[in-house]
């Protein structure tokens, strides 16, 4: 979920790391715009992870959709919550591979 000046809307995660996230979005966002995000995944146990960051890239893709890269603000509990979420994703991938 993305929270920005145009309201709240869903986007698809392409890639995520402790430093930033790549998204496929149905809406255009302005570069340097500060947004909030909430990461959640059904395969990961635990609460959704609220984050904030700055849009670094927004380019139109076929579809119509937009490729967006957001750099996170690394800060105490947020960074820890994101790392826990990423470990949960990795654990979910391992379980799928074992099937």
Residues 22-51 have pLDDT tens digits of 999 999 999 999 999 998 888 777 778 888
The Cα–Cα gap between 43 and 45 comes to 7
The Cα–Cα gap between 10 and 65 comes to 12
- For the chain, the domains span 2-98
Residue 2 DSSP one-character state = E
Predicted confidence (pLDDT) at residue 61 exceeds the cutoff of 90: yes
pLDDT per residue over 6-27, tens digit each?
789 999 999 988 889 999 999 9
CATH number at 2-98: 2.40.10.220
Q: Is the pTM of this model over 0.75?
A: yes
The Cα–Cα gap between 68 and 2 comes to 11
């Amino acid at each position: 979920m993305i929270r920005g000046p145009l309201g709240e809307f869903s986007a698809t995660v392409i890639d995520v790391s402790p430093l930033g996230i790549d998204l496929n979005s149905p809406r255009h966002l302005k570069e340097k715009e500060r947004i909030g995000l909430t990461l959640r995944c059904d395969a990961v146990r635990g609460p959704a992870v609220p984050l904030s960051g700055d849009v670094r890239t927004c380019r139109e893709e076929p579809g119509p959709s937009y490729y967006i890269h957001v750099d996170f603000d690394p800060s105490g509990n947020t960074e820890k919550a994101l790392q826990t979420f990423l470990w949960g994703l990795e654990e979910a991938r391992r379980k799928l591979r074992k099937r």
